[in-house]
Amino acid sequence: MKFAVIVFPGSNCDIDMYHAIKDELGEQVEYVWHDTESLDEFDGILLPGGFSYGDYLRTGAIARFSKVMKAVVKAAEAGKPILGVCNGFQILLEVGLLPGAMRRNESLSFICKPVNLKVANNGTMFSTAYAQGETISIPVAHGEGNYYCDEETLAGLKANNQIVFTYQDNPNGSLEDIAGIINEKGNVLGMMPHPERAVDELLGGADGLKLFQSIVRSWREANVVKA
């Protein structure tokens, strides 16, 4: 499986994401600059964290207009797995691939620490390697991770089982403890915690590795022809 790690001016978690795929997962991966117009050669798309375009105007608001985002939308419509982490999640919200918005953390301060998450839905292409209801430890690092949506959108997320991860001890005030959601089609995941920073025990834990393993397993089951 071949992954693209999208790099925007201000991305700072792209190297972590690349390491997770190449060195821990053992799959192909390339950095792809924000002005790239085609992602057809890639099987999965990763939008890393950071401060794209300095987070001016609003987190993800400028990155949303980068040339590569048209290709990301095309890939999403084709059913390819798209993962947006932290700032990548914010960009997916801005471009409309996921519903809702991000607000400043309730504390109005930057949060950087490991947090416990509950696997609320292990039936997605991103979470099949986890047990339903499993508790995992994944670090967060954000100032605007307070997820919000209106009542109608929230009802839809619940009805369609689109909430994949929830916080056990909500660090930022997110509505309904939401830490990660997918689109209705099930191939676009946005999450504030950083799984790429939890792929090896040397980093303090490897709970995030199962997320990437889930993607590869699901992709192979759908695309690799068995002899």
pLDDT digits (tens, 9 = 90+) for 10-20: 999 999 999 99
Residue environment code for 35-62, b if the CB has 16+ CB neighbours within 10 A, otherwise e = ebeebeebbbbbbbbbbbbebeeebbbb
User: Which domains are assigned to the chain?
Assistant: 2-223 (3.40.50.880)
Helix (H, G, I), strand (E, B) or coil at 69: helix
pLDDT, tens digit, 9 for 90 and up, residues 70-106: 999 999 999 999 999 999 999 999 999 999 999 999 9
List residues with catalytic annotation. Answer: 86, 194, 196
Confidence tier at 57 by pLDDT (50, 70, 90): confident
pLDDT, tens digit, 9 for 90 and up, residues 94-148: 999 999 999 999 999 999 999 999 999 999 999 999 999 999 999 999 999 999 9
Q: Where are the alpha helices (DSSP H) in 132-207?
A: 151-159
Confidence tier at 226 by pLDDT (50, 70, 90): low
Residue 119 Cα distances to 18, 83, 111, 163, 180, angstroms: 24, 16, 21, 9, 10
Q: What integer best gives the mean pLDDT of the chain?
A: 96
Q: Is the pTM of this model over 0.75?
A: yes
59, 144 in Cβ contact below 8 A?
A: yes
pLDDT, tens digit, 9 for 90 and up, residues 181-197: 999 999 999 999 999 99
Q: What is the pLDDT of residue 132?
A: 98
pLDDT, tens digit, 9 for 90 and up, residues 170-182: 999 999 999 999 9
> How far, rounded to the nearest angstrom, does the alpha carbon of residue 158 sit from its chain's CA centroid?
19
